[in-house]
């Protein structure tokens, strides 16, 4: 969070996450480089340095594919959210493995080049006008350059320095990097440099990624439609039934003008906040309440339920909204309150409200025993 510059804000979860990742990568490389040549005669025939560059290359590709799959997977099924949490470290480690692959290539193929190895790579093959024999390494270089730039700018310092819009645009280049790797491997295989298993893995990953992105997009569109059809009373939008809420979790939806809102239930009270994290726009509502603070699932930014502010010394803030319950239905006023406005969490009435039968007539703003969340400004 934006308190003071620290290269990495370590915590126990990040350490466990990174340990898992590094052990997984180590195991993959060991199986590829040590076990496979012992078990397979075909693998043993390939020269060790070439086998090594294939191990690093395929590992980098698998990591990149997983990174791209995490986003849609987490949108389809919340159980994948823990993997999303530390995707930044995942990306940096992937760039590191890709660098090892490129280094192995340069050290082997251009070991005796009289000029710099990188220059030699650029000028060694200029067959740009043929498919078989095209300098596929250039596509590898393009994706490596993108991965390295993304790793270098992954720190939050760059997010605020470049502005979220530019930063997000820059990091969307990951899709260009992925497309470029597909071309890299496919064209490499055509000149005989790749093995068929890698080619099949690449094709399968492409199909899986496209399917996941389409499914996540459809799921999101369906969710939006449900809330677009929700009953509206004056400015208030019905968010669902009290019984639909799970302790410590949120129900998400959109206001009439498309504002994304998350309503959390915590200790029998409801709080409505923006569903857009002030860090990188993560879905706050897919997180949970941890020690009384709403915790964004993407990178763990936290917000207070009553005013949407991060606890000191952090300064992030998200909007608050007013919430009411009537006859078991939860209503939200989608008009965003000024940043920092305090709205005390709304206690869920024990029984259905017998006085206010129709919010269209009396309006959820009616002062009643069920309307205690008087808003006070400037809470932070
Ligand atoms: C400067 C950047 C790069 C260069 C010069 C480069 C070069 C090469 C070369 C020469 C091969 C063929 C190796 C062989 O003889 O079998 C290869 C294969 C491969 N590269 Fe790269 N590469 C680069 C970047 C990348 C990146 C960024 C990735 C993935 C994120 C990647 C993934 C692969 C894969 C998956 C293979 C196929 C391995 C196999 O056949 O099993 N490369 N690369
Ligand atoms: S913590 Fe990064 S998007 Fe919410």
Averaged over 13-22, what is the pLDDT? 89
Residues enclosing ligand 2, CB less than 6 A? 277, 279-280, 282, 296, 298-301
Same domain, 192 and 314: no
Q: Of 223, 249, 282, which residue is a domain's last?
A: 223
Residue with tokens 């994706």: 143
Same domain, 264 and 131: no
Q: Provide, rounded to the nearest whole percent, the portion of the chain with pLDDT above 70.
A: 85
Same domain, 85 and 180: yes
The answer to whether residue 3 sits within a structural domain is: no
The answer to whether residue 369 sits within a structural domain is: no
The answer to whether residue 2 sits within a structural domain is: no
Q: Give pLDDT tens digits for 320-362.
A: 999 999 888 999 998 899 999 999 999 998 765 444 434 443 4
Q: Of 191, 223, 255, which residue is a domain's last?
A: 223
| Residue range of the domain that includes 88 | 12-223
Q: How many angstroms separate the alpha carbon of residue 243 from the centre of ligand 1? A: 53
| pLDDT at residue 223, as a whole number | 66
Q: Provide, rounded to the nearest whole percent, the portion of the chain with pLDDT above 90.
A: 46
- pLDDT of residue 78 exceeding 90, the answer is no
Same domain, 160 and 121: yes
The answer to whether residue 267 sits within a structural domain is: yes
Averaged over 118-140, what is the pLDDT? 84
Same domain, 62 and 161: yes
Residue with the larger pLDDT of the pair 315 and 6? 315
| pLDDT at residue 373, as a whole number | 42
| pLDDT at residue 365, as a whole number | 42
CA–CA separation, 202 and 133 (whole Å): 20
CA–CA separation, 234 and 187 (whole Å): 60
The answer to whether residue 147 sits within a structural domain is: yes
The answer to whether residue 115 sits within a structural domain is: yes
| pLDDT at residue 363, as a whole number | 41
Same domain, 318 and 169: no
**Which mutation among 287, 301, 316 tests ligand 2's pocket best, with the greatest number of atoms within 8 A of CB?**
301
Q: To the nearest whole number, what is the mean pLDDT of the chain?
A: 84
Same domain, 187 and 240: no
| pLDDT at residue 15, as a whole number | 87
Ligand 1 pocket residue status of 188, Cβ below 6 Å: yes
Q: How many angstroms separate the alpha carbon of residue 171 from the centre of ligand 1? A: 22
- pLDDT of residue 237 exceeding 80, the answer is yes
The answer to whether residue 77 sits within a structural domain is: yes
| pLDDT at residue 138, as a whole number | 94
Q: How many angstroms separate the alpha carbon of residue 195 from the centre of ligand 2? A: 39
Q: Give pLDDT tens digits for 174-223.
A: 999 999 999 999 888 887 655 677 788 899 999 999 999 999 888 877 76
Ligand 1 pocket residue status of 263, Cβ below 6 Å: no
| pLDDT at residue 88, as a whole number | 86
- CATH value at residue 255: 2.102.10.10
Same domain, 148 and 296: no
**Which mutation among 95, 117, 140, 193 tests ligand 1's pocket best, with the greatest number of atoms within 8 A of CB?**
140
Q: Of 170, 205, 223, which residue is a domain's last?
A: 223
Give strand pairing partners of 324.
331
Which of 239-243, 258-262, 375-379 is predicted least confidently? 375-379
Q: Name the band, by pLDDT with cuts 50, 70 and 90, for residue 377.
A: very low
Same domain, 215 and 303: no
Strands 293-295 and 260-266: unpaired
Ligand nearest to the CA of 180: 1
User: Which atom belonging to ligand 1 lies closest to the Cα atom of 94?
Assistant: 30
**What b-and-e string marks burial along 47-68, b requiring 16 or more CB atoms within 10 Å of the CB?**
eeeebbbbbbbbbbbbbbbbbb
Same domain, 45 and 184: yes
CA–CA separation, 289 and 2 (whole Å): 21
Within 10 angstroms of residue 204's Cβ, the number of other Cβ atoms is 11
Within 10 angstroms of residue 323's Cβ, the number of other Cβ atoms is 24
Q: Give pLDDT tens digits for 130-165.
A: 878 788 999 999 999 999 999 999 887 888 888 878
If you take atom 1 of ligand 2, which residue's CA is the nearest one?
A: 299
Same domain, 32 and 136: yes
Q: Give pLDDT tens digits for 280-315.
A: 888 899 888 988 899 988 878 899 999 999 998 888
Q: What is the domain count for the chain?
A: 2
The answer to whether residue 375 sits within a structural domain is: no
Same domain, 28 and 175: yes
Max Cα distance, the chain (Å): 89
Q: Is the peptide bond before 313 cis (omega within 30 degrees of 0)?
A: yes
């Amino acid at each position: 969070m934006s308190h003071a510059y620290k290269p990495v804000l370590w915590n126990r979860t990040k350490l466990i996450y990174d340990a898992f990742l590094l052990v997984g990568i180590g195991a993959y490389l060991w199986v590829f480089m040590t076990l496979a040549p012992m078990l397979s005669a075909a693998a043993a025939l390939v020269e060790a340095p070439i086998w090594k560059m294939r191990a690093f290359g395929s590992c980098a590709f698998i990591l990149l594919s997983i990174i791209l799959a995490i986003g849609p997977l987490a949108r389809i099924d919340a159980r994948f959210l823990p993997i999303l949490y530390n995707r930044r470290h995942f990306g940096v480690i992937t760039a590191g493995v890709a660098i090892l692959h490129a280094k192995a290539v340069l050290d082997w193929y251009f070991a005796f080049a009289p000029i710099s190895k990188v220059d030699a790579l650029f000028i060694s093959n200029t067959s740009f006008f043929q498919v078989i024999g095209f300098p596929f390494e250039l596509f590898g270089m393009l994706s490596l350059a993108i991965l390295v730039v993304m790793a270098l700018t992954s720190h939050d310092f760059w997010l605020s320095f470049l502005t979220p819009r530019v930063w997000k645009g820059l990091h969307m280049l990951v899709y260009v990097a992925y497309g470029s790797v597909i071309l890299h491997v496919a064209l490499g295989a055509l000149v005989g440099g790749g093995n068929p298993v890698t080619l099949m893995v690449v094709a399968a990953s492409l199909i899986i990624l496209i399917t996941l992105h389409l499914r996540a997009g459809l799921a999101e569109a369906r969710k939006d439609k449900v809330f677009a059809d929700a009953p509206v009373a004056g400015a208030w939008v019905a968010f669902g039934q009290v019984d639909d809420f799970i302790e410590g979790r949120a129900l998400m939806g959109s206001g009439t003008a498309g504002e994304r809102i998350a309503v959390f239930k915590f200790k029998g009270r409801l709080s409505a906040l923006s569903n857009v994290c002030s860090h990188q726009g993560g879905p706050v509502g897919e997180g949970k309440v941890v020690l009384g603070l709403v915790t964004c699932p993407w990178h763990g930014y936290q917000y207070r339920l009553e005013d949407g502010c991060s606890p000191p010394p952090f300064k992030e803030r998200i909007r608050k909204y007013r919430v009411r319950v009537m006859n078991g239905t939860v209503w939200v006023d989608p008009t965003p309150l000024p940043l920092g406005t305090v709205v005390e969490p709304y206690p869920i009435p024990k029984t259905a409200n017998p006085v206010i039968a129709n919010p269209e007539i009396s309006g959820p703003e009616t002062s009643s025993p069920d309307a205690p969340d008087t808003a006070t400004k400037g809470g932070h």
